[in-house]
Amino acid sequence: MSESQKVYISVPKPPVFPDDGVWDDLEFYIFTGFLTGRASWQGWAFVFKTLNHLEIRNLDFFRPTAASTTEEKSAFRTSFIAHSIFMLNGQNMLPDRDRTIRQLIKLIAKLPVNIQDKIVEELTALNNRAHRLYPLVEVYTHETRGRWRWAQIRDLNIASATITGISGTQDLGMNHCQASYVALSRIADMAEEAERDWSNAKFIGSCFIGKQIKSIDDKDQARHAKEKEDRRARKEQVLSAYLNRSFVAPDTKEYITLPDGTNAEVVQRYKANTVEELAEQLSKALSNEKDAHDLIIEREMLKAQERSREIANQTPKVLNTIDPSRSQLGSRVISSDEMKARHERLKALAINQDVLVDQNQT
């Protein structure tokens, strides 16, 4: 073979990701409700926690109504630290926090300002660490371990002490990762149920119009393969950005309305460097803007609804095109109404089998 006839093939190496340990922080954040950090000062042992957007909103109620800017910032700083306390000297401070929060604020106010600033700096880093977990939820929801955990808790309140194992978490509300995980998991359940119904309809139709059903099934197989490939590509993108600490842009562009009335595209969210900036960043979830997580959920919901409508339109066509006189299964003629009734019975049987499996797993 001459030099000009040689063909050189370069095979790219597959991306290398760590083992399932990449999900540890996310699972702790979802199924506990917050991330934690420890600190101690003059015999006081603290365990601090991240704040969710609901707690950040409630912090505004602790701002003094008539005070200077310096006093307002000081009051907000002490409130922020006090609300971030999870345990103090081994005692859980979350139960009855509404009753004890004033004492905690007075305790934090006694700390030197430089100590308070150091705590705020560490809490900001801890909250930013939680903020980096948000893009992982979309991928984790479709992972085997994510679906398995959802099967265990889908009928329970994810923020309850039954799930977290910590008294008082039910009063904190869901953080963004918890809310996204619940929403995306329910959408996945809807999609699986629709596909199960469609499989039952195709099974009935295959007994009579096998060639037509084979063509439909081939299209479904191609669609499933594309969805699987899209999820794999999205997983690589999200995990690569997470491990490299880079920004993950949402698939859909995000726009906001500026004070002058013009629309602007959000290119990247900034990182909070102070407690006030952190509060402003987290409180964006309370506005009318759609963040990346809302867009992901909206996109998945639209896909599930579109697929459900497609299945709902195709199922009657499959059942109505059945010609019982061409059946080789027996001499008895089966009407299309009876075929639809059989489909409903098969659907009910599938649901009952799923319930039985869930009970056995429990």
- 8-30 pLDDT, tens digit each: 444 444 444 444 577 889 999 99
pLDDT tens sequence across 56-72: 888 877 776 655 677 77
Indicate the helix (H) or strand (E) that contains 38: strand 36-41
List CB contacts of 131: < 8 A, sequence separation 6 or more: 281
Residues 166 and 114 in one domain: no
Residues 201 and 309 in one domain: yes
- 169 assigned to some structural domain: yes
User: For residue 327, what pLDDT is reported?
Assistant: 45
Residues 172 and 78 in one domain: no
Cα distance between residue 346 and residue 341, in whole Å: 9
- 259 assigned to some structural domain: no
- Total count of domains within the chain: 2
pLDDT at 341 exceeding the cut of 70:
no
- 10 assigned to some structural domain: no
Cβ(252)–Cβ(291) below 8 Å: no
- 27 assigned to some structural domain: no
What average pLDDT is seen over the chain?
A: 75
Residues 305 and 179 in one domain: yes
Residues 221 and 318 in one domain: yes
Residues 318 and 207 in one domain: yes
Residue 114 has φ and ψ, to the nearest 5°, of -65, -35
Where does the pLDDT of residue 161 fall: very low under 50, low under 70, confident under 90, or very high at 90 and above? Answer: very high
- 156 assigned to some structural domain: no
User: For residue 286, what pLDDT is reported?
Assistant: 41
Range of the domain at 119: 35-131
Residues 111 and 242 in one domain: no
User: What is the pLDDT averaged over residues 248-260?
Assistant: 52
Residues 109 and 174 in one domain: no
- 334 assigned to some structural domain: yes
Cα distance between residue 313 and residue 130, in whole Å: 43
